[in-house]
Structure 1
Amino acid sequence: MRTRTITATALLALTLAACGPADTVNTTPKADTTADTSSKTVTSAPPAKKATAAAVGDTLTLKGMEDGEQLDVTLKQWLPTAKGADEFNVPSDGKKWAAAQFELVNTGSKVYSDSPQNGAQVADAQGQRFSSYFGEIAAGPQMASDLNLPKGEKALGWILFEVPKDSKITSLQFAMNSGFSDQTGQWSVK
Structure 2
Amino acid sequence: MPRSRRAGRVRGSLLATALLALALLATALLGAAPDGSGETISLSGNGPGRRLDVTLTQVVDPASPAGPEPSGTGRLVATRFRLENTGTAVYQDSPAPAAHLLDTAGQRFTGDDVPTTAGPVFLETVTLDPGGTAEGFITFRLPADAEPAAVQFALDTGLADDVGQWSLPLP
Q: Same fold (TM over 0.5)?
A: yes
1:105 to 2:73 alignment:
no
Name stretches of at least 5 consecutive residues in structure 1 with no aligned partner. Answer: 1-21, 26-52
Match of 1:130 among 106, 109, 125: 109
Note the C-alpha offset of 1:92.
Answer: 2.8
After superposing on structure 2, the runs of 4+ consecutive aligned residues of structure 1 that deviate more than 4 Å are none
Which gives a bigger RCO, structure 1 or 2 (Cα 8 Å, sep 6+)? Answer: 2
Note the C-alpha offset of 1:139.
Answer: 1.2
Alpha carbons 1:91, 1:162 under 8 Å: kept:
no
1:78 to 2:56 alignment:
no
How many pairs are equivalent?
A: 141
1:153 to 2:109 alignment:
no
Alpha carbons 2:76, 2:141 under 8 Å: kept:
yes
Distance 1:167 1:54, change over 3 A: closer
Larger Rg: 1
Cα offsets for 1:122-156 (capped at 9, x unmatched): 01110011111231100111012111110001000
Residue 115 of structure 1 corresponds to 94
Residue 11 of structure 1 corresponds to none
Residue 39 of structure 2 corresponds to 58
Match of 2:144 among 158, 161, 165: 165
Percentage of matched positions with identical amino acids: 37
d(CA) in 1 for partners of 2:142 and 2:71?
9
Normalised TM-score (structure 2): 0.77
Note the C-alpha offset of 1:94.
Answer: 5.0
d(CA) in 1 for partners of 2:103 and 2:143?
10
Cα offsets for 1:71-91 (capped at 9, x unmatched): 0000010112101113x1x23
Counterpart of 1:81 in 2: which secondary structure?
A: strand
1:139 to 2:139 alignment:
no
Alpha carbons 2:53, 2:84 under 8 Å: kept:
yes
Name stretches of at least 5 consecutive residues in structure 2 with no aligned partner. Answer: 1-10, 17-33
Distance 1:94 1:136, change over 3 A: closer
Alpha carbons 1:175, 1:183 under 8 Å: kept:
yes
Alpha carbons 2:84, 2:133 under 8 Å: kept:
yes
Counterpart of 1:91 in 2: which secondary structure?
A: coil
Alpha carbons 1:172, 1:188 under 8 Å: kept:
yes
